[in-house]
Structures are given as C-alpha cells and as structure tokens.
C-alpha cells in the first residue's frame, strides 16, 4: 500500500471514531432524557405540602405590603451525563373585577401578570438528586392592583383567580442538547374575601 | 464488465443514500409528528416546522443520492470519483445545515397534559454544528484524495492495468 493511502486510512479511522463518539453521546442523551422524564420513575417531584403563597395588603391604603411564594421541588438525574444550566421561570397572573367608581355597576374583568421570576439552579451531576426551592417575594412583583380597586363581592365567586406560566430549561449531553418545557395559563388557585 | 459492475455499485449506493437521507428522516419526523406518550398525552410537531423540514430533507437528499451514484459508479481512485465524492460531502454539509434553517434543530412540540396546554422546545443546534465539524474533516480528506489521485495518476493507472 502506498504511504499516502496509509496516512489516509489513519485519518479516516480518526474521523470514524469522532463520528461514533458524537453519535453515542447523542443516543445516550436521548435515552437519558427518557429515563429522567418517564413519569413512572418519579425523578421529578414537586413538594406541594411545603409550598407556600402569602399575600398581605394594607387595610387602609389597599397597597400590597407582603408577598411570598415558595415551591420546593426535586430532580433526580438518572441519565448518563450532568444536567446543566437548570433554569426555572414562573409567571403568575390574576383575573379579577376592577371596580368602576365612575359608573357604578359597570365593572371590567381584568387579567394582569403581576409576578415574574427566572431562577437558576446550576448543575445536577449524574446519578444525584437535586433539592431546590423556587422562592419569590415582593421584589419580583411587576405591578399589583390596589386592593380597593378589586371587587370583593364578585358574583359568581371567586373574587380573584390565579394563573401561572411555567418554563423549565436545561442543557444536556455535554451541551449538545438544550431542552425547554413550557406550560401556559395553568389555574393555580383562587381567593374569595367572603 | 467493469463498467456494469461500477453501475451496479453506483445504484446500490444511491439506494443506500435515498434510504438514509430521505426515507429514514421522513419516517422519523412522521413518527414524532403525532407522538403519543402514555401519561403525558399527545405530543404534536407543529405543521409549519414539519413542512419546512420535509421539503429540505427531500431536496438535499435527492442531490446527495445523485452525487452518490456518480461517485460510486466511477472507477476506484479516479479523479472523477474524487470530484464527485467532494461535491457529495459538501452537499452533505448543506443537508446538515438545512436541518438548522428549516427549523429541524429547534423542534417545537405542542402537548396537552390533563387539559393543560404547553410546548416543548428541543434545540439540537450544537449537535448539528459538531457533526458539521466532522464533515469539514471529511472535506479535508476528499481534497487530499483529489490531490493524491492527480499527483499519482500514472502509478494508479499502472496498478489498475496490472490488476
């Protein structure tokens, strides 16, 4: 065999190994995603019992004085690679009846987004379980309506309905795959004064 | 006899490329178009993404398969073969690149879990870029072949005559 063909053969083997490595990483990444997301494996859990949602108003001015939101959750990385850049974003909106003081009885139903936060949780190494707590407070409030403008006698109840958008983003397979999971307009609860 | 053998080889490789670059991706994207996962519900690939992806897969797949025929039906270590092999690898790169601009690397699925709608976005851009890096090395190899076949043309012919 000519020396140039021997050199070519070695280079060809190198390319083949490189292609096989990338393919194996991609296939294992896909299989890992299945292992993690499979609902029966319970690798993703949200602890609703420890979740809290507190809102407080000033009785005189109607201004929002306190807001705390916490949602503990855990993710077990059952796959073959580290799970990187885990990011959770939550947006909360509310639907209520805005009291029209100019024309009594002509109230408007309004939907506003009042809370938005994106929190980064870093990396979960392979085979490990990450315990996290998504926390939101008054600093994440975009704008909250004055309590005196909310119709607390809305019929039919409830007075306020809360909705949320969830976004979960992550990078996997040594950075080869990025995944983003979004759910919109999920009813998360309601509140009635009476 | 040698020409017939080359034509058969060209046809076989064309069939292989038709299957790997058109039929298999087509079947895969048809499968993920309406994917049903128990307990997660139906996951659907958006119509716009699907049409774009299929168009570019078929367009570049046909060019690759055509190049494969001319490349593999040419005599071994011939300049013609090296030229067509080089064109084929370059078109292969464009084929991979088409995955990026057709939206196939940012696959958008819609789903409905227990009445809650949402979408899942899978970004494979980095993976496609890594594969393109590997293809770049293949282009280097094909250029090397072309130079090698041109320089050693006489020796290759002599060996072919001996065989």
Q: Which residues of chain B have pLDDT under 70?
A: 1, 34-48, 113-114, 163
Pairing of strands A44-46, B41-45: unpaired
Yes or no, beta carbons of A180 and B144 under 8 Å apart: no
Smallest Cβ distance to A8: which of B123, B144, B155? Answer: B144
Residues 6+ apart with CB under 8 A from B96: B128, B131, B132, B135
HSE-up (13 A, CA, CB side) for residue A188: 20
Residue A50 has a pLDDT of 80
Residue B36 has a pLDDT of 66
Chain A / chain B CB contacts < 8 angstroms? 69
Contacts of B124 in chain A (CB under 8 A): 176-177
Burial class (CB in 10 A: 0-12, 13-18, 19+), A171: buried
Q: Where are the alpha helices (DSSP H) in chain B?
A: 2-18, 24-33, 47-72, 79-101, 125-151, 153-162
Yes or no, beta carbons of A4 and B152 under 8 Å apart: yes
What's the whole-model pTM score? 0.72
Domain count, chain A: 1
- Classify residue A176 by its DSSP letter: T
* pLDDT tens track, chain A, 194 positions: 778 788 889 999 999 999 999 889 988 988 887 788 776 778 878 777 788 888 888 888 888 888 888 888 888 998 899 999 999 999 999 999 888 888 877 788 889 999 999 999 999 999 899 999 999 999 999 988 888 888 888 888 888 898 889 898 889 888 888 888 888 888 888 888 76
Residue A98 has a pLDDT of 87
Residues 6+ apart with CB under 8 A from A147: A57, A58, A62, A63, A64
Contact criterion met (CB below 8 Å) for A185 and A156? no
Residue B37 has a pLDDT of 62
Residue A27 has a pLDDT of 87
Contact criterion met (CB below 8 Å) for B68 and B13? yes
In this structure, chain B runs to a length of 163
Per-residue pLDDT reduced to its tens digit, B79-122: 999 999 999 999 988 888 887 777 777 777 777 766 777 787 88
CATH number, position A11:
2.60.40
Smallest Cβ distance to B152: which of A2, A173, A184? Answer: A2
Distance from CA of A179 to the nearest CA of B (A): 5
A3 touches chain B (CB under 8 A): no
Scan residues 143-182 of A and list those with Cβ closer than 8 Å to B: 166, 173, 175-182
Cα–Cα distances in angstroms (integers) from residue A98 to residues A104, A158, A189, B10, B136, in the given order = 11, 14, 19, 74, 62
Smallest Cβ distance to B122: which of A18, A22, A179? Answer: A179
Scan residues 17-56 of A and list those with Cβ closer than 8 Å to B: 18-19, 22, 26, 39-40
Query: Rounded CA gap, B64 and B20, in Å?
Result: 10
B143 to chain A: closest CA residue: A8
Phi–psi pair at A165, nearest 5 degrees:
-110, 130
Residue B114 has a pLDDT of 66
- Token pair belonging to A161: 């309905």
A129 touches chain B (CB under 8 A): no
Distance from CA of A61 to the nearest CA of B (A): 37
Residue B48 has a pLDDT of 65
Query: Rounded CA gap, A79 and A123, in Å?
Result: 13
Smallest Cβ distance to A184: which of B39, B117, B122? Answer: B117
Scan residues 72-101 of A and list those with Cβ closer than 8 Å to B: none
Cα–Cα distances in angstroms (integers) from residue B119 to residues A72, A116, A144, B37, B61, in the given order = 23, 19, 28, 14, 29
Domain that holds residue A185: 3-191
């Amino acid at each position: 065999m000519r020396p140039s063909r021997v050199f070519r053969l070695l280079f060809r083997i190198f390319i083949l190994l490189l292609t096989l490595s990338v393919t194996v990483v991609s296939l294992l990444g896909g299989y890992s995603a299945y292992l993690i997301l499979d609902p029966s494996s319970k690798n993703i859990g949200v602890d609703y019992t420890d979740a809290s949602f507190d809102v407080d108003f000033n009785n005189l001015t109607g201004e929002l004085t306190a807001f705390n939101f916490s949602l503990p959750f855990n993710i077990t990385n059952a796959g073959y690679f580290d799970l990187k850049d885990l990011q959770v974003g939550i947006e909360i909106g509310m639907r209520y009846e805005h009291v029209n003081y100019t024309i009594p009885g002509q109230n408007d139903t309004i939907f506003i987004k009042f809370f938005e936060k994106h929190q980064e949780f870093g990396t979960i190494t392979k085979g490990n379980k990450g315990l996290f707590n998504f926390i939101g407070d008054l600093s994440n409030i975009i704008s909250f309506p004055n309590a005196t403008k909310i119709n607390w006698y809305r019929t039919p109840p409830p007075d306020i309905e809360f909705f949320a958008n969830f976004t979960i983003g992550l990078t996997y397979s040594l950075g080869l795959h990025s995944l983003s999971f979004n759910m919109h307009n999920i009813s998360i609860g309601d509140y009635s004064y009476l | 006899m040698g020409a017939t053998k080359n034509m058969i080889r060209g046809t076989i490789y064309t069939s292989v490329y038709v299957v790997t670059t058109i039929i298999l991706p087509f079947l895969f994207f048809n499968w993920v178009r309406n994917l049903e996962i128990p307990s997660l519900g139906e996951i659907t690939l958006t119509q716009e993404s699907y049409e774009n992806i299929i168009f570019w897969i078929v367009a570049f797949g046909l060019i690759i398969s055509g190049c494969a025929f001319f490349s593999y039906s040419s005599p071994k270590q011939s300049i013609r073969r090296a030229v067509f092999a080089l064109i084929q690898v370059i078109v292969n790169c464009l084929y991979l690149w088409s995955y990026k601009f057709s939206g196939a690397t940012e696959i958008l699925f819609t789903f409905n879990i227990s009445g809650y709608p949402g979408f899942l976005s899978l970004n494979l851009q980095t993976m496609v870029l890594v594969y393109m890096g590997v293809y770049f090395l293949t282009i280097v190899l094909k250029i090397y072949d072309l130079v090698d076949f041109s320089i050693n043309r006489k020796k290759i012919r002599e060996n072919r005559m001996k065989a």
